[in-house]
Amino acid sequence: MKLVIQDVINAVSLGSLYALIALGVALLFSIMRLANFAHGEIIAVSAFAMLALSGLPVPVWILGTLAAGVLVALLMERIAFRPVRGKDMTTMLITAFAVSFAVKDLLLFSQGALPKPVRLPGFFSGTVEVAGLQIAANSLVSLAASAVLLTGLVVFFQKTDLGVQMRAAADDFGMARLLGVRANLLIAAAFAISGLLAAVAAILLVSQSGSVEPYMGFAPVIVGFVACVIGGMGSLKGAAVGGMLLGCLTVLLQATLPDGLAPYRDAFLYSLVIAILVVRPQGLFASPAVVEDA
């Protein structure tokens, strides 16, 4: 019984982490049709910022890591993505691809290829007693952080002017501009939020693995992208659901795969995903603005 509770918490915790990553990708895709392959590198850079700040008091390194994510995202927008804004999706995807590799290369160059351990503050380790059960502190922190962030996002998109304008832009960017929505500001804000989400994901990822390395962004960005595809490209709700689904499936596979096959967890996960896509290639909540041709 105890084992199952921990598994459920792990599932929801991982699912919400994946949802955060997916949302960071989906936000930019829904507004600008940009599939930001470099999102993984925002995560990686944030993680290395976390490494650099790890000796400092907790609020400082948290804020510093978040700031790093936002800053990197804004820089990417200004330097690489603004010149290709408005071009077709493929061009933008390749641009993201180029940015991703360039940043990875910079990380490799400055940090070397080997993983570096990160010293985490105490509240990430050990177990916490909840209702008579011992739950891993890590999962709870992850869950709490994701819940706060996801709630914040919902409030942002439903209640604030900027959030409503962003949803309008995702629906019809041209029309939003005709109504006075400032394109540059909106896009910068979207990148900033995406960067924030990436930085939080970085913190949670590092808290699980305990180390950072330059290629660490690749697997998470694949998760984010695949979650968006399952949820339906262009749908924020779909991305969150897709991420949650992937997280739960991952934990389920981890728990049910026999020991010999456990390392192949990700292979099984994506094979399952591809199987799902056979049945419903357009994803769960296909956005009306992007008509598929399959």
Partner 1 sequence: MAPEPMLRVRDLVVTYGDTPALNRISIDVPAGTIVSVVGPNGAGKTTLVQTIAGALSPREGTIEYDGQSIVGKSPEGLARRGVALVPENRHIFGTLTVEENLRVAEAKNRGVFSRQDPHAYDEVFELFPVLERYLERPAARMSGGEQQQLAIARALLGRPRLLMLDEPSLGLAPVIVDQLFDLIETLPQRGITVLLIEQNASRAMDIASHSYVLRSGRLEMEGTAHEIAASGMFESAYLGFG
Partner 2 sequence: MPENQSLALRALRYAWPLIVPAGLLALLTLVVGTGDKTMTLVTTKMLIFVTLAVGVYIFSGNSGILSFGHMAFMAVGAYTSGLLTIPVLQKAALLPDLPGFLADAHLSTALAAIVGGLVAAAFAMVVAIPLMRLNGIAASIASLALLLVVQTVISNWESLTRGHSALIGVPVNSTVGNTLLVAVLAMAVAYVYQTSRRGLLLRASREDPRAARAAGINIYRERYLAFALSAFVTGVGGAMYAHYLGVMRPDAGFFLDPTFMVVTMLVVGGINSLSGAVLGTVVISAISEVLRRLASGEGGLKPGLQTVILGVFLLVMLITRPSGLTGGREVPFPRRRRRDAPTPGAPAGGDLQTANEQEAVT
**78: DSSP letter:** I
CB atoms within 10 A of CB 16: 23
| 170: nearest Cα among 232, 82, 222 | 232
**Does residue 183 touch partner 1 according to CB under 8 A?**
yes
Q: Which does 1 bind (CB under 5 to 8 A by kind): partner 1, partner 2, none?
A: none
The interface region with partner 1, picked from 13-21, 48-56, 111-119, 180-188 by CB under 8 A, is 180-188
Residue 127: phi, psi to the nearest 5?
-125, 160
Three-state DSSP state, 134: strand
Contacting partner 2 within 239-268 (CB under 8 A): 263-264, 266-267
Do 268 and 252 form a contact (C-beta atoms < 8 A)? Answer: no
Of 177, 215, 270, 282, which one interacts with partner 1 (CB under 8 A)?
Answer: 177
Instruction: Give how many residues touch partner 2 by CB under 8 A.
Output: 57
Choose from partner 1, partner 2, none: what does 91 bind? Cβ within 5-8 Å by kind.
Answer: partner 2
| Binding positions for partner 2, 119-178, rule CB under 8 A | 172, 174-175
Work out whether 161 is an interface residue with partner 1 (CB under 8 A). yes
Cβ proximity to partner 1: between 210 and 288 the closer is: 288
Interactions with partner 1, residue window 78-97 (CB under 8 A): none
At 40, list the tokens.
């993984």
137 CB-contact burial (10 Å; exposed 0-12 / middle 13-18 / buried 19+) = middle
Contacts 24+ apart (CB under 8 A), 120-125: 120/54, 120/206, 120/207, 120/210, 121/58, 124/207
Interface contacts to partner 2, rule CB under 8 A = 33, 35, 80, 83-84, 87-91, 93-95, 97-99, 101-102, 104-106, 108-109, 113, 172, 174-175, 215, 218-219, 222, 225-226, 228-229, 233, 263-264, 266-267, 270-271, 273-275, 277-278, 281-283, 288-294
